[in-house]
A and B are shown apart, each in its own frame.
Chain A
Amino acid sequence: MPAQLRPHAAVDGAGICVMLIAIPTEEKACRSPGRLAVRVNIMDQHHHHFEVGGAHLSRLEDLRLIKGEGCYSADWNLPNQVHAAFLRADRAHAKIVSISTAAARKAKGVLGVFTGEDAVKAGYVKPLSFLTFAGKDGKKANISERPALTADRVRFVGDLVAMVVAETALQAQDALELIEVEYQDLPVVVSPRAAVAPGAPLLHDNVPGNLAFEQEAGDAAAVDAAFAKAAHVTKLRLDVTRVAPNPMEPRACAVAFDAGSGKFTIHSPVQGINMMRMQLAAYTGVADDRIDVVARDVGGGFGQRSIGYPEYVALMLAAKSLGRPVKWVSSRSEGFMSDSHGRANYIDGELALDRDGTFLGMRIDWIADLGAYLHPAGPVSPMRNPVTCLNGVYKTQALFGRWRVVLTNTAPVSAYRGAARPEIAFAIERLVDEAAAQMNIDPAEIRRRNFIPTDAFPYKTPTGSVYDIADFHGVLDKAMKLADVAGFPKRRAESEKRGMIRGLGFSTVIENSGAGMFPKDEARLEVHADGTVTAYSVSHSQGQGHETTFAQIIGDGLGISAERVKLRQGIGEQGLIGNHTGGSRTIVGAGTVCHIAAKKLVEVATPMAAEQLGCEPSQVAYAHGEFKSTASNKKITLGELAAKKPLTVTGEGKFGSTFPNGCHVAEIEIDPQTGVTEVLSYVTVDDCGTVINHTIVEGQMHGAVAQGWGQIFTENVVYDPDTGQLLTGSFMDYAMPKAGWIKDIQIAEHTTFGTISPLGVKGMGESGCTASLAALTNAVMNALRPMGVPPPDMPLTAHKLWQAISAAKKGK
């Protein structure tokens, strides 16, 4: 009985109610996984043995947040502030013939109305792009301007046409309706495959064929040779649909401008203040030391909150022009339209195998739909991350891929939890599974035959990555055992008796983490007289629990309890260099420099303590927040030392790539009468290196697997193909995964210690997405394949599976 679908009550007497509906379960959504955690000892002696690591420590920030004491972007209210509202395009593609703002300007409370003309005049016209490298044939990307308010033409439903600023938000919203826009409609293109076809409507004058960039990677000749000698070739279409990330916190932004110093202060959701400042500075041409980004709590990011959006830039324009702070809070409807979307990668893949199922080569043709404009990192991640792990966990030597970055009349797309790591893992693992089925080879066995062996690390891949360390065989074996794969045929037969179709599928995946775009990561520690420590970081938590993990790392390094360490993030005046939170890299970068800073603090404080204790530094021993003279037994605590002299250090480090990996096993059952898939069990075995806090790792896994579940079964952003209207613009039509839909996730670890960080950490924020897309799809295909059902497109909605099953039944 799935917890979420239990009949609500079956009452004897006059009536019987068979309520078969989704009801949030009272049962714990997930089995307590700690008992299953087993660590293997592929232990590198050089690694720091994390003393408090592995704790099931509850998050230090939770009480504060649960009590409503968080400070999110909409909670910032600035003295004398006024409010903005945005007029957005109600159509997907049109020329703006004229805009009449006269009536709006006269409306009650209105202080200003801004249009594209103002944005152009201010020079707030071109977002930063990280797509600076050369592509195929040495060609650079065609990147268009995007004035903070669009100047001449709207290119997607939700595009910014005008901004009204008024004394109240309601006045601003009322005045929006008084703006008259005359449009001249243009033809619309929504599908990225249609957008690159000859004769497609063009979005930007400087982007011929809607193709902003093209890149190739790998060895085309070697792949051709591999396919020529292959005994078997598996081909699949592997589209990974467009989703709306939907963080719980809506976007909001408050901007103040100080005419005296020429400085902007900006409060918005961030994944790191440096990343936000860099983008807003580039967009506006304002020097980055004139932009102070200040953020506290962030209610979910998933990549979507790392962007310096045009709305923020438009608010800068208004704040400067009006001389008053300007605030805007997005509605959820605006969010669906204009927050960056995720995935939207359209992939064709081919795998060449020899007679024994050895992978000879793989070829990928990848279209990344970036929507109407390029977000700064949007076009980079669908190329960079897949190329980094193009061979997956396998020895495949011949690899080739072609990537096309394509523009369509849809909302701009950017990184979403995993940032194309899930897509390449999905492509590889679907190909591997289909090939195994076509060749009648056991899916675990075909993987074992092709795994990079455990003794081959560090392993240089054909695309130039160096996988530091992993044990794919160990990960797979443990997952198979936990999921009781051996007992599956019996369970399948039992389902069949009940008229249900059961399937089991898995994925064995790897992803890159660690390397960042800033020159280094820094963390600063400041000791107070009461012995507590404040830690400063620019890697911002959007819910990951940095206040806990960083405190644990620092507490461990200093031998004091984590509760004595308070993290402050998003404090611009600390001037720290460092990466934002993203790419599963925070623990590797920001986390490791917390450890380095703690060690450095003891080093720096030791001579200071020696002076106070009247001995030589060599005679000072440090433990648990206390320095002791081995000569006199005299002691001084960190706090006492800090009371005498400021005690502050900055730890820094630069880190390359490390490679979290894992195996997920999903077991599902499909009701052929309705097409509904129920996930009966879900097993994860992950190697994320050293675990600092199991509770947080488990929470990350639950969330990421749920996001994978959503993507595979219900989530899908749908635009009308003819008009470009957004058809899934609210939670009435866009189905997020709900609590209780996944009843059981068993989480286990299989640790090899990463070699990039002295902590042995690898990162794990995204691995649940990376592994779950393929594991869930493979399980569904394992169920349906015997009926002759061809692989359906994502998402595998009940409706679609019912149609596929019905068609297969009719065909027989």
Chain B
Amino acid sequence: MYAFQYHKAKSLNEAGDILGKDEEARPLSGGMTLIPTLKQRLAQPTQLVDIAGLAELAGVENKNGVLTIGAATRHADVAASKVVQQAIPALACLAAGIGDPQVRNRGTLGGSVANNDPAADYPSAVLALNAKVITNRREIAADDYFQGMFTTALEPGELIVRIAFPLPKAAAYCKFPHPASGYAMAGVFIADTAQGVRVAVTGAGASGVFRWAEAEKALAKGISAAAIEKLTLAADDCNEDIHGTREYRAQLVKVMATRAAAALSGKKLHGQDHIEG
């Protein structure tokens, strides 16, 4: 780790100021990606601006059909929140399955969405639920926010304040975790929203989280496993590494989507209980 200045921000404005002025400064929330990166000397920020304790980034609220979660809310708190569990249980469950207990007790919603790791869980929920990313400068629609692996619409000095999730009629998330990291090798979030059924895929895409248009079309007439089983996801759209070929990831996306759809349609599939260690 290289030496850096640590600055505990007193307000969102102050954090935004520092980060706006110093391009080499980095915001620190849970630090679950940033700190390992620093320890490996892969980044050399001038200062870390700690925003984890800011009151402006805290809070969970379900009001007027929208669930709003502060950016600094830790995964463990989202998972345990009665408000989240009642409003969008799939989101609480997703949070409960991120990484491991240590990560869930430090990592935050805003940190994960700002980082936009192509295998992170939250981006699929934000995209499928058609959420709004609210920053210290503006509101960004989910469809505009994610712009490829580790790339987002955020500008220098722009910080996520909270994320607003319109309540869906129903939602389900099904994930095949990588046996080592726990990240998604394929994670499929299906949400039945006011704008129709939205299917977002994480972990498998060649350029990060994406909406699976064919699946959305197939499920528009009614959500069922059978509707997904007829589809094939093009392997070319998937990524490949030592842990899995494109073809395998395409298969996993289909299986996870099938199982999520089956859960939403209330139909239990054979073998549904035996998914993915």
Which residue numbers of A lie inside 8 Å of B, CB to CB? 1-2, 4-11, 13-24, 170, 173-174, 177, 331, 333, 497-500, 669, 671, 673-674, 676, 678, 713-714, 718, 727-728, 731-736, 738, 741, 797-799, 802-803
Contact = CB atoms under 8 A, between A and B. Distances in A.
14 contacts: A8-B97, A9-B96, A14-B87, A14-B167, A14-B168, A17-B91, A20-B276, A24-B101, A170-B1, A170-B3, A673-B271, A676-B277, A741-B277, A798-B179
Interface in B166-222: 167-183
A498 B268 CA distance: 11
A23 B96 CA distance: 9
A21 B91 contact: no
Interface string B147-167: 000000000000000000001
A382 B61 CA distance: 62
Interface string B90-101: 111110110001
Given A2-B274, A671-B271, A676-B274, A16 B263 contact: yes
A673 B39 CA distance: 39
Q: Would you list the 4 A-B pairs with minimal beta carbon distance, nearest first?
A: A17-B93, A735-B180, A11-B89, A20-B275
Given A8-B97, A732-B181, A676 B168 contact: no
Interface string B1-34: 1110000000000000000000000000000000
A174 B2 contact: yes
Given A9-B89, A16-B263, A799 B243 contact: yes
Interface of B: 1-3, 39-41, 85-94, 96-97, 101, 167-183, 242-245, 248, 251-252, 255-256, 259-260, 263-264, 270-277
Contacts of B180: 714, 731-736
A14 B174 contact: no
Contacts of A497: 270
Contact of A17 (B92, B101, B256): B92
Given A16-B263, A174-B2, 7 more contacts: A8-B96, A9-B89, A14-B168, A673-B251, A674-B252, A735-B179, A798-B277
B276 A803 contact: no
Nearest to A718: B242
Contacts of B264: 16
Classify the secondary structure of A's interface with B. Answer: loop
Given A170-B1, A799-B248, A13 B177 contact: no
A678 B243 contact: no
Given A1-B273, A21-B97, A15 B89 contact: yes
Nearest to A333: B40
B259 A18 contact: yes
Instruction: Name, among B93, B167, B274, the residue most crowded by chain A CB atoms within 10 Å (CB to CB).
Output: B274
B215 to A, nearest CB: 16
A359 B27 CA distance: 68
Given A14-B167, A678-B274, A741-B277, A20 B174 contact: yes
Contacts of A498: 270-271, 274
A583 to B, nearest CB: 30
Given A1-B273, A676-B275, A10 B263 contact: yes
A23 B173 CA distance: 15
B277 A15 contact: no
Contacts of B170: 14-16
A735 to B, nearest CB: 4
A738 B270 CA distance: 26
Contacts of A17: 89-94, 171-173, 263
A797 B263 CA distance: 27
Contacts of A678: 274, 277
A19 B274 contact: no
Instruction: Name, among B167, B180, B251, the residue most crowded by chain A CB atoms within 10 Å (CB to CB).
Output: B180
A16 B40 CA distance: 39
B181 A5 contact: no
Contacts of A732: 180-181, 183
Nearest to A734: B180
B275 A674 contact: yes
Given A170-B1, A734-B180, A735-B180, A15 B274 contact: no
Nearest to A4: B277
A154 to B, nearest CB: 20
A37 B175 CA distance: 40
A714 to B, nearest CB: 5
Contacts of A13: 86, 89
B175 to A, nearest CB: 5
A500 B242 contact: no
B275 A671 contact: yes
